[in-house]
Amino acid sequence: MKILGKLITTGIVLGVILIGGAVVLPGLTKNRSSEVAMAIDNVNPLVQTETVYASTSAQPVRQFIGGGGEKEYEYRLVTYNATGQARTITFDAQWRLKRGKYLAIRTKGQNVESWQAVTREKVPSGVRQNILMA
Per-residue pLDDT of the chain (134 residues; tens, 9 = 90+): 677 667 677 766 565 555 555 455 555 566 666 777 778 888 888 888 999 999 998 889 999 998 889 999 999 999 999 999 999 999 999 999 999 899 999 999 899 999 999 999 999 988 888 887 76
Report the distance separating Cα 72 and Cα 99, nearest Å.
16
The model's pTM? 0.73
Instruction: Give the closest residue to 40 by CA, choosing from 16, 14, 22, 13.
Output: 22
Determine the Cα–Cα distance for residues 59 and 29; give it in Å rounded to an integer: 23
Look at the alpha carbons of 6, 9, 14, 15 in this order and tell me if their dihedral is positive or negative.
positive
How far apart, in whole angstroms, are the C-alpha atoms of residue 130 and residue 120? Answer: 13
Q: Which domains does the chain have, with CATH numbers?
A: 2-133 (2.40.50.480)
Closest CA to 52 of 119, 133, 116, 132: 116
Measure Cα distances from 108 to 10, 15, 130 in Å: 31, 23, 21
> Which one, of 63, 52, 60, 53, lies nearest residue 101 by Cα?
53
- Rounded Cα distance between 104 and 114, Å, is 9
